[in-house]
């Protein structure tokens, strides 16, 4: 029996539905740390988020500006393309759709590109930012989000592989056209649905 099969059997023994685990993934209680480059040295005082592109209200928001929006708590599973999944993770943040509404995107906008430190970007259709669990988040498991996990604030779009939820966010670019980001230009799938195993370009 393979490691992955044993992992699913273990979930069943704990009364957890193994269907929650996408193909090719294993469940872990840990929160592995994976990123490109150094850990960013940002604080709530130095954090800012620029909204730009094809919008009527280009603004730069501070940490306090964002946290003053209606807060929500979300419990959700997360999945990393490196094959780990973590269940029932707890986050606090603001819904990205509230930030989108503030930006007042033009009717032509179909995509939002996340811009983060070190020039990192990742791209997604606008629709993926509008769900109940799509957040700008600053708290994990009841504590301020650690820098190694993207603190003080990161994107959370949990229905996709976790590289689609940028750490150390600096900007959201509203665009009528798609603009593949760092990993998408380097062999990863343009969308990244874990339940379809969309890991790499041709998956």
For the chain, what percent of residues have pLDDT higher than 70? 98
User: Does 137 score more than 70 pLDDT?
Assistant: yes
Q: At 4, is the pLDDT very low, low, confident or very high (cuts 50, 70, 90)? A: confident
Whether the pLDDT of residue 16 is over 80: the answer is no
Q: How far apart are CA 147 and CA 125, in angstroms?
A: 27
pLDDT exceeds 90 at position 59: yes
Cα–Cα distance, 171 to 136 (Å, whole number): 12
Count CB neighbours of 148 within 10 A.
Answer: 13
By CB neighbour count within 10 A (0-12 exposed, 13-18 middle, 19+ buried), where does 177 fall? exposed
**How far apart, in whole angstroms, are the C-alpha atoms of residue 8 and residue 2?**
10
How far is 42 from 17, CA to CA, in rounded Å?
38
Q: How many whole angstroms separate alpha carbon 145 and alpha carbon 76?
A: 16
What does the pLDDT average to over 160-183?
97
Label the pairing between strands 26-27 and 84-95: parallel
Identify the band that residue 38 occupies on the pLDDT scale cut at 50, 70 and 90. Answer: confident
Class of domain 47-196: alpha beta
C-alpha 47/C-alpha 39 separation (Å) is 14
Structure tokens at 43: 């604080």
> Which of the residue ranges 18-22, 154-158, 177-181 would you say has the lowest mean pLDDT?
18-22
Task: Tell me how far apart the alpha carbons of residues 75 and 140 are, in angstroms, rounded to a whole number.
Answer: 10
Residue 12: what pLDDT? 75
Mean pLDDT of the chain: 93
β-pairing, 143-144 vs 121-125, is unpaired
Task: Report whether pLDDT(77) > 70.
Answer: yes
Angle in degrees, CA 66, 72, 78, rounded to 5: 100
**% of the chain at pLDDT higher than 90:** 82
Q: Which residue has the tokens 């939002």?
A: 112
């Amino acid at each position: 029996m393979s490691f992955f099969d044993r992992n699913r059997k273990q979930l069943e023994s704990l009364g957890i539905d193994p269907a929650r685990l996408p193909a090719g993934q294993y469940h872990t209680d840990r929160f592995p740390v994976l990123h490109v480059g150094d850990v960013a040295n940002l604080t709530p005082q130095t954090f800012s988020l620029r909204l730009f592109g094809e919008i009527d209200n280009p603004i730069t928001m501070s940490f306090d500006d964002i946290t003053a929006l209606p807060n929500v708590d979300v419990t959700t599973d997360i999945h990393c393309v490196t094959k780990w999944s973590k269940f029932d993770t707890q986050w606090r943040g603001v819904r990205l759709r509230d930030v989108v509404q503030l930006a007042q995107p033009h009717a032509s906008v179909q995509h939002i590109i996340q811009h983060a430190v070190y020039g990192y970007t990742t791209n997604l259709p606008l629709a993926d930012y509008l769900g109940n669990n799509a957040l700008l988040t600053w708290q994990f498991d009841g504590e301020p989000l650690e820098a190694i996990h993207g603190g003080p604030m990161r994107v959370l779009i949990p229905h996709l592989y976790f590289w689609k939820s940028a750490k150390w966010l600096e900007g959201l670019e509203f665009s009528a056209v798609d603009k593949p980001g760092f990993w998408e230009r380097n062999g990863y799938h343009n969308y990244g649905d874990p339940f379809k195993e969309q890991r790499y370009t041709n998956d």
